[in-house]
Amino acid sequence: MIPEIASVCGLYCGACGIYLATQSNDTEKLSRYATMLGQPLSETRCDGCRSGSKTAYCNNCYMMKCSREKNLNFCGECNEYPCEELKNFQQQMPHRAELWKAQSRIAEIGAVEWTAEMKTYFSCPQCHTGSTSYDLKCPKCGHVPGNGFVGNNRETVMTYLENRKNS
């Protein structure tokens, strides 16, 4: 069984703010995401890529649709990998920085093990609280970086957050 939070494209849903806010039932945070994404709050909840409950954005995912048509579990299994669509998707946002690494790791150790690795990777090294790809510091104890991903992609994440603030 592939974990619901191991996405087709290689993202770990456990590092998404909407997923985390849904799991902790943080309506205030979910409302902010709904406004930010311009979609209704009722469609701004998520239990993971392979679950029955996803945000409007992820429900329209090209990769999910494509992988179903081709009967594949992950983009990395496809003979067209990495296709133009996935390459464009990867370049758009900093939280997608490690998609290629994720796909090869999933092929290497399997989705269950990879998901377990990601849980640790996206947790605070000090208090083990899970956080997102954009948490420069741990939302609970303030440790910098908030998780391993942010530690490895600090510059990219910081530049993105600065630009967003200024736009």
| Residues at the contact surface with Zn ion, assessed by CB under 5 A | 124, 126-127, 129, 138, 140-141, 143
Shortest distance (Å) from residue 128 CB to Zn ion? 7
CB within 8 Å of 147: residues ≥ 6 apart: 15, 121, 122, 123, 124, 125, 130, 131, 135, 138
- When the beta carbons of 73 and 129 are compared against Zn ion, the nearer one is 129
Shortest distance (Å) from residue 156 CB to Zn ion? 22
Shortest distance (Å) from residue 147 CB to Zn ion? 9
Which residues in 83-103 are b (16+ Cβ under 10 Å) and which e? eeebeebbeeebbbbbbbebb
- When the beta carbons of 34 and 124 are compared against Zn ion, the nearer one is 124
Shortest distance (Å) from residue 149 CB to Zn ion? 14
Shortest distance (Å) from residue 15 CB to Zn ion? 15
- When the beta carbons of 110 and 142 are compared against Zn ion, the nearer one is 142
- When the beta carbons of 24 and 35 are compared against Zn ion, the nearer one is 24
**Three-state DSSP class for residue 159:** helix
Name the DSSP letter for residue 130.
Answer: B
Nearest to 140 by CA among 152, 155, 123: 123
Distances (CA, A) of 131 to 1, 72, 126: 25, 29, 12
